[in-house]
């Protein structure tokens, strides 16, 4: 399976809305609108295009030429400005095929090249073993755990903090 990343375009609004409507939201942020409309997609894609290369790297994930998910690395602000946070999601039917592991590898490389950062942080709910493994396979290390750090759908979870350091030049 060929995994590619490409920049989002405004032509992707319908596909983004379709993907976000079908997502398993068990371990996603509540900031993701539900229902997710084409207007929601247009707002997000426009924001991504404005921040692209300066404050973040925002990519559609393609598997064999079809958009199947989203991945981004967004630079933090203030004293945390050389750190960035990775976030991603993938259609459930595409899980466990190595797509996200490859997407994370590719976006980390891009982010370290394009952004003025020295590390990337990944925040994962403790029971989300698959996402934790994706990060670990890409050289992220578990740096700490916020006990009872997340409330999602009435359940309280620990939040695992992963970090990946930029390789010396």
Give the mean pLDDT of 121-144: 98
Query: Where is pLDDT greater, at 87 or 1?
Result: 87
What pLDDT digit, counting tens, does each position of 86-123 carry? 999 999 999 999 999 999 999 999 999 999 999 999 99
Give the mean pLDDT of 66-89: 97
Residue-level pLDDT at 141? 98
Q: What is the DSSP letter of 10?
A: G
Rounded to the nearest integer, the mean pLDDT of the chain is 96
Are 85 and 73 a contacting pair, CB within 8 Å?
yes
Pairing relation of β-strands 3-7 and 56-63?
antiparallel
Has residue 169 got a pLDDT over 80?
Answer: no
Residue-level pLDDT at 168? 81
Which architecture characterizes domain 3-120 according to CATH? 3-Layer(aba) Sandwich (3.40)
Nearest alpha-carbon partner for 7 in 62, 83, 55, 63 = 62
What pLDDT digit, counting tens, does each position of 17-61 carry? 999 999 999 999 999 999 999 999 999 999 999 999 999 999 999
Give dist(CA 153, CA 97) in Å, integer. 27
Q: Using CB atoms within 10 A of its CB, is residue 2 exposed (0-12), middle (13-18) or buried (19+)?
A: exposed
For residue 13, give the 3-state DSSP assignment. helix
Residue-level pLDDT at 167? 87
Give dist(CA 166, CA 121) in Å, integer. 11
H-helix segments, 69-155: 99-114, 129-137
């Amino acid at each position: 399976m060929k995994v590619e990343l490409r920049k989002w375009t405004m032509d992707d609004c319908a596909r983004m809305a379709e993907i976000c409507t079908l997502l398993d939201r068990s371990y996603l942020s509540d900031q993701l609108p539900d229902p997710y409309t084409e207007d929601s997609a247009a707002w997000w894609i426009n924001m991504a295009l404005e921040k692209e290369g300066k404050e973040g790297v925002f990519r559609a994930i393609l598997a064999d030429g079809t958009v199947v998910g989203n991945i981004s690395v967004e630079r933090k602000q203030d004293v945390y400005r050389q750190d960035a946070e990775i976030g991603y999601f993938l259609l459930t039917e595409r899980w466990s095929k190595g797509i996200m592991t490859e997407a994370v590898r590719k976006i980390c490389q891009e982010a370290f090249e394009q952004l003025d950062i020295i590390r990337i942080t990944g925040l994962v709910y403790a029971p989300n073993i698959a996402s934790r493994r994706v990060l670990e396979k890409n050289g992220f290390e578990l740096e700490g755990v916020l006990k009872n750090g997340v409330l999602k759908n009435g359940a309280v979870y620990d939040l695992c903090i992963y970090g990946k350091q930029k390789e010396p030049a």
